[in-house]
Chains A and B, each alone.
Chain A
Amino acid sequence: MAGWLEKVLEIDLSTHTYKIYPLDMEMARLFIGGRGIGARLLWDMVGPNVDPLSPENVLIFTNGPLTGTGYQTSNRFSVTTKSPLTGTVLDANSGGFWGMQFKKTGYDAMIVRGKSEKPVWIEIKNGAVTFHDASELWGMRVFALTKKLGQDNNKRNVLCIGPAGENLSRVAAIMNDRERAMARGGPGAVMGSKNLKAIVVEGRERPVIEDPERFKFLLYETRKLLAASPLTSQALPEFGTVVLMNIMNNIGALATRNHQQTQFEGAEAISGEELTEKYLVKNAACWACPIGCTRISKTEKVEGEGPEFESTWAFGAQCGIDDLPAIIEANALCNDLGLDTISVGSTIACAMELSEKGYMDSDLRFGLADMLAPTIEAIASRKDIGAELADGSLRLATKYGHPELSMTAKGLEMPAYDPRGLQGQGLLYATSNRGGCHMRGNMIGLEVLGLPKLIDRFQVQGKSAFVILNQNSNAAIDSLVVCKFTNMGVADEYFARVLSAVTGIQYATTELIKAGERVWNLERLYNNREGFTTKDDTLPPRLLNEAPVDGPSQGWVSKLDPMLKEYYRTRGWDENGVPTKQKLTELGLADLV
Chain B
Amino acid sequence: MPVIKLFANLRKFAGAKELSVMGSTVGGVLGALVGQNLQLRAAILVDGIPGPHVIITLNGHNIVDLNTAIDEQDVIAIFPPIAGGQGE
Q: Is the CB of A450 within 8 A of B55?
A: yes
> How far apart are the CA atoms of A244 and B7 in the complex, in Å?
10
> How far apart are the CA atoms of A184 and B87 in the complex, in Å?
12
> How far apart are the CA atoms of A487 and B83 in the complex, in Å?
11
Contact of A250 among B11, B64, B77, B80 (CB under 8 A): B77
Name 19 extra pairs, CB < 8 A, besides A247-B79, A309-B84, A449-B55.
A92-B88, A95-B88, A230-B52, A230-B80, A234-B81, A235-B8, A239-B9, A243-B7, A243-B83, A246-B7, A247-B82, A250-B57, A250-B60, A251-B61, A308-B84, A308-B87, A309-B87, A449-B82, A483-B86
B62, B64, B84, B87, most chain A CB atoms within 10 A: B84
Q: Is the CB of A273 within 8 A of B7?
A: yes
B53 to chain A, nearest CB (A): 6
Q: Given A234-B81, A235-B81, do A552 and B61 touch, yes or no (CB 8 Å)?
A: yes
- Chain B residue at smallest Cβ distance from A182: B88
Q: Is the CB of B88 within 8 A of A450?
A: no
Q: Is the CB of B80 within 8 A of A310?
A: no
Q: Is the CB of A552 within 8 A of B60?
A: yes
The answer, yes or no, to whether B85 is at the interface (CB within 8 Å) is yes
Q: Is the CB of A442 within 8 A of B88?
A: no
Q: Given A234-B81, A246-B7, A273-B7, do A551 and B60 touch, yes or no (CB 8 Å)?
A: yes
Contacts of B25-55 to chain A: CB distance below 8 A: 52-53, 55
The answer, yes or no, to whether A284 is at the interface (CB within 8 Å) is no
Q: Is the CB of B86 within 8 A of A439?
A: yes
**Which residues on B sit within 8 Å (CB–CB) of A108?**
none
Contacts of A230-247 to chain B: CB distance below 8 A: 230-232, 234-236, 238-244, 246-247
Q: Is the CB of A244 within 8 A of B82?
A: yes
**Which residues on B sit within 8 Å (CB–CB) of A272?**
8
Contacts of A30-48 to chain B: CB distance below 8 A: none
The answer, yes or no, to whether B59 is at the interface (CB within 8 Å) is yes
Contacts of A408-448 to chain B: CB distance below 8 A: 417, 438-439, 442, 444-445, 448
Q: Is the CB of B60 within 8 A of A449?
A: no
> How far apart are the CA atoms of A234 and B7 in the complex, in Å?
14
Q: Given A272-B8, A273-B11, A451-B53, do A485 and B87 touch, yes or no (CB 8 Å)?
A: yes
Q: Is the CB of A231 within 8 A of B88?
A: no
Q: Mark A548-579, 1 if CB is under 8 A from B, else 0.
A: 00011000000000000000000000000000
Q: Is the CB of B83 within 8 A of A236?
A: yes
Q: Is the CB of B84 within 8 A of A240?
A: yes
**Which residues on B sit within 8 Å (CB–CB) of A247?**
7, 55, 77, 79, 82
The answer, yes or no, to whether A304 is at the interface (CB within 8 Å) is no
| Interfacial residues, chain A to chain B (CB-CB below 8 A) | 92-95, 181-184, 230-232, 234-236, 238-244, 246-247, 250-252, 272-273, 293, 308-310, 417, 438-439, 442, 444-445, 448-451, 454, 457, 483-485, 487-488, 551-552
- Chain A residue at smallest Cβ distance from B51: A230
Q: Is the CB of B88 within 8 A of A244?
A: no
Can you spell out 8 A-B residue pairs with CB atoms less than 8 angstroms apart? A230-B80, A239-B8, A241-B83, A243-B84, A309-B84, A309-B85, A442-B85, A551-B60
- Chain A residue at smallest Cβ distance from B81: A230
The interface size of chain B toward A, counting residues with CB under 8 Å, comes to: 25
A61 to chain B, nearest CB (A): 15
Q: Is the CB of B85 within 8 A of A552?
A: no
- Chain B residue at smallest Cβ distance from A233: B81
Q: Mark B2-15, 1 if CB is under 8 A from A, else 0.
A: 00010111010000
**Which residues on B sit within 8 Å (CB–CB) of A487?**
86
Q: Is the CB of A444 within 8 A of B88?
A: no
**Which residues on B sit within 8 Å (CB–CB) of A181?**
88
A453 to chain B, nearest CB (A): 10
Q: Is the CB of A235 within 8 A of B85?
A: no
The 6 closest A-B pairs by CB, nearest first: A552-B60, A241-B84, A484-B86, A230-B81, A231-B83, A244-B84
**Which residues on A sit within 8 Å (CB–CB) of B88?**
92-95, 181-184, 439
> How far apart are the CA atoms of A459 and B59 in the complex, in Å?
18
Q: Is the CB of A449 within 8 A of B7?
A: no
> How far apart are the CA atoms of A552 and B7 in the complex, in Å?
18
A182, A183, A308, A417, most chain B CB atoms within 10 A: A308
**Which residues on B sit within 8 Å (CB–CB) of A251?**
57, 60-62
- Chain B residue at smallest Cβ distance from A455: B62
A183, A240, A273, most chain B CB atoms within 10 A: A273
> How far apart are the CA atoms of A252 and B58 in the complex, in Å?
12
A97 to chain B, nearest CB (A): 15
Q: Given A243-B82, A273-B7, A454-B62, do A231 and B87 touch, yes or no (CB 8 Å)?
A: no
Q: Is the CB of B53 within 8 A of A450?
A: yes
A239, A309, A442, A483, most chain B CB atoms within 10 A: A239
> How far apart are the CA atoms of A234 and B43 in the complex, in Å?
11
A359 to chain B, nearest CB (A): 32
**Which residues on A sit within 8 Å (CB–CB) of B5?**
250
> How far apart are the CA atoms of A445 and B82 in the complex, in Å?
10
Contact of B83 among A182, A232, A454 (CB under 8 A): A232
**Which residues on B sit within 8 Å (CB–CB) of A236?**
83-84
**Which residues on A sit within 8 Å (CB–CB) of B59?**
552
B75 to chain A, nearest CB (A): 9
**Which residues on B sit within 8 Å (CB–CB) of A230?**
52-53, 80-81
**Which residues on B sit within 8 Å (CB–CB) of A484?**
86
A177 to chain B, nearest CB (A): 13
- Chain A residue at smallest Cβ distance from B54: A450
